[in-house]
Amino acid sequence: MGVTRKLGVHRRTVREAGRNAVPPQRKKTERPAVKTYVERRKHALGLAEHEVFVPQSYDWRVAEQVDWYEGYADLDGEQIKLQVFSMLSMASGAASHRAYPCATQQTFLEAHELVFEYFEGVFRRLR
């Protein structure tokens, strides 16, 4: 009884270990798996070969994506690091990029102004 409390096992386990030091092989129970069933059903329905995707579509001038990234340019034989403002129209995929020596609020606002001029208008939603 002390061994069961100390090890936190059932007394039947202690009794079996006393009879044989090598534990018995565990029985494997055969159970049908959900994954196997779903895979078989997909093949039966002809769905396994098709690629599934959700197309994204946007109305014109509704959504755009804005981001900054670092780029490098060679000016007068010297490589300099630039901060590049990028705006992408989600409807058409058209993009506009503006490069600046540093990213500040002034360059952010100027870039928006120039990009809206490029796109001939503003977007309702910025991402």
Q: How confident is the model at residue 96 (pLDDT cuts 50, 70, 90)?
A: very high
pLDDT above 70 for 1: no
How distant is the alpha carbon of residue 34 from its chain centre? 26
Beta bridge partners of 83: 70, 100
Pairwise CA distance, residues 103 & 90, whole Å: 24
Would you say 115 and 85 are in contact if contact means Cβ atoms under 8 Å apart? yes
pLDDT above 80 for 103: yes
Q: How confident is the model at residue 28 (pLDDT cuts 50, 70, 90)?
A: confident
Q: Does 73 or 48 have the greater pLDDT score? A: 73
The label of the residue with tokens 């993009």 reads: 95
> What pLDDT does residue 109 have?
94
Model confidence pLDDT, tens digit, residues 33-60:
888 888 888 888 887 776 767 777 888 8
